[in-house]
A and B are shown apart, each in its own frame.
Chain A
Amino acid sequence: MNLFLLTVVVIIYLAVVSYLGYQGYKNTKSSLDYNVAGRNIHPYIMAMSYGATFISTSAIVGFGGTAAQFGFSLLWLTACNIWIGIFVAFVFFGKRTRRMGLNLDAHTFPEFLGKRLGSVFVQRFMGIIIFLTMPLYIAAVLIGASRILEGLLRIDYNVAVVLFTILVAAYVIFGGLKGVMYTDALQGTLMFIGMVVLLIAVYFSLGGITPAHSALTNLASQIPEGLRKIGMTGWTQSPVPGSPLFWILYSSLVLGVGVGVLAQPQLIVRYMTVKSNQEINRAVIIGGVFIMAMTGTAFVVGALSNVYFVNSSGKIALAMVGGNVDAVIPKFIADFMPSWFGYLFMLVILSAAMSTLSSQFHALGTSIGRDVYGTTLKGKDKLKSWEILVTKLGIVIGLIITVYLAYHLGESVIARATSIFFGLMASCFLAPYAASLYWKRLTRKGAIAGMMAGFLVSLFSFLFLHISESKVFGLSKLLFGKDSLLSGSSVFIDPLVFALPVSVVTTILVSLLTKVEEPDHVERCFKGI
């Protein structure tokens, strides 16, 4: 490792990011009218900002490692990321959210739903749920970044967590919170270049696309016994239908994250910053290609790392890292690519982590400051300054919880932590959110009932059904003498599979049984749609 070169590269990178952030911020402030009237925010910047926020170290390191473990079946998640996370999200959710967000003068996701439904309770409830659960997702991103530092710099994981936290805290404090899209765009571009280079290099070194895949197929005999037992049949083969792996893969990872993306607070805000639907139309192109290059590469490379490791050391990827899935991608980059690429890739990871973290902390801080505390204020009175303080305090508390989680969550946890957060957001908020955009007959009571039903069913599942969590909480064992009330492989079915349909049905039924509270307000919400 060339420490001097590495330090220089990181310092130059941070300087450019800071400069861009500062410039973008100043520019927006001084040319407010110009920006609004001229509508010249480039769709490239919008799409890259969305993409860079969406894709984090969790996707690249955590899910890339999971692909090394489970194989190409995880590509269903990439397909969902593009078809649902970009196309459906932009075209069917983004356009209406943008227009309605304007009509309602909403600035956060909880504020959007709260104002649409005319309910402060909704805004506060969402604020609290986001504040309490988001640290789990932030920790997943932080763990991913720290594993990369650990792998590439060959430093201790605990030291890496501290190093990266200091870096992120500095970034968030010195301007990261301003949410400047130019910075995201630079980071997105770096991520794109890094991942494309990686994909080409891997396919090239393994003799091309088909030979590489065939070599992976031929490794089926080396599947560890543990994975074979839960239903794995090969890295290019589907798991046995109904097996534990089948449910883990499709219900938690593919469905949880693939669909959960539609209800992500830090992403929904992005639609509201776009100037017109035309920008959204154009951004669909960049978004689709960007996501393909990101998760597509991460999952393909993750799975193919098995071929590389078997060829070079005679062991599959999981065996190379002592079973810690989260360490596969860092180990692979360090071993497979030349050291200069390792440095470039570290910037990619820094970019991916920072662009996501800044938005996460923004969403976390505003959830408690604006959505919970802010709604207790009447007008712009003197207590307004307390809102800022509460927001900042929220961020500091969030940071502390995050670091604590990063130390205590253990190994092979990134993908799971991410999917819990994504799944929970979808279970609670997706049904009321979608209905808010498309259904004038939605009532406040219907939305609240749907939200509560999704939340309670998720909570029940985490405590009593889904064994990964119920075993940790121990309540099921205490009350019923077993880790899960379900049996067989159904203990692996993700809470989302139960909670989302219940939330959808409850939202619809209660709305139909109650009256729209303020029909005039609903018409105002739908103005221009």
Chain B
Amino acid sequence: MANTEVSFVRTETLPPMAPPIGEQGIVKWLRENLFATPANGALTLVALYVIYVILSGSMPWIFNGVWNTSSLTECREVLDGTRGACFSVLTERWHQLIYGFKYPPDAYWRPNLTFVLMLVAIAPVLFFDLPRKMLIFTAIFPFLAYWLIWGGTIMTPIIALLGVVAGGFVYTRFVASNFAIGFFGAILAALVVWIIGGFMTPDTANENAMLQAVPSRDMGGYMLNLMLGVVCVSLSIPLGIALALGRQSDMPLIKWICVVFIEFVRGVPLITLLFVASVMLAYMFPPGTTTDLFLRVVIMITMFSAAYIAEVIRGGLAALPKGQYEAADSLGLDYPQAMRLIILPQALKISIPGIVNVAVGLFKDTTLVSVISMFDILGMIRGPILGGAAEWNGVYWELFLFACIIFFVVCYGISQYSQWLERRLATDHR
């Protein structure tokens, strides 16, 4: 018995066999993902056909494109009857699409530099890991950007900055004792500095300034879209916070003012607000004053996005557990302190993705200004380029493709950032 030569059971493990050919590699993937059922296979074929139609239509057109002619007729001659795009409209008119048709060409470096600086200024706001010292630059950036884009005397942004610094100084000095004194004192201090500065600046300062002054009606193209988007979103966040807090207030009058404002603005289309800016707001300013259309549009778009941001932040405030409010009360904090130190940091964190979505929507909506005859990128395409001189009359695919790409890149980028942020801010364990 001890010497068993014959065993009934295999003593060593067999090497695993390769899976059947239909269960591995690309065949398995194809079968599971594309041809699981007959209906699914039919769907795949339809999808393949759609892709084929799109690609076969667009690819020859794109790759056969002409990049260096000076008019449509010339481009058609080069193409000689074959299908192809006249991208030369972009190479010839790109500066109009980006900066508008009146911005002085030798000053194009100014918006470009501003754009780069904007990325630097915005980075510490978007990415929390960056050194906090960068926020100092973010604070200076608006004044610098104003000076770079509009040009003129450097006194204007410096005085504006000094006013803000004075206000900030008064605020930090008094906020510890009483929020109201600090807040209103800061506003007062800033106003005093601005008024004194306004008297000190000579009226002729703009004439021999370092940077040539450019009036805002000369700005256009994609630059105008970006400017409106950035300015209005940044202005509307504080306003939106104030409206959201006001809507939650115990004081009925303040609450109802905020509710009426928010619901009114959210109930009407942006285009009617832009009509208000272009035809109605002029009646509301004091007689004899003329205000910039850009400024009027900024006011209305800011109000518009503030109402939407207020609703997002209200959602954030409502999502906070009641215990947070009670904890703040039990620590003996008064309302401004509780909001500043306990409630808003948490509520804003919850609402950042929502705010980013509003920002994307708002940025897309800046194209609406072309309806009230401002020459943003869409206004440039429809106005001077397509409808103007005969050189490029009839080139619409190329121009719209350019506009689509330039908007898609920015909006898709921001929404990807928002999703990344949402994942990062998610503190619950899943």
A and B are partners in one complex rather than unrelated chains: no
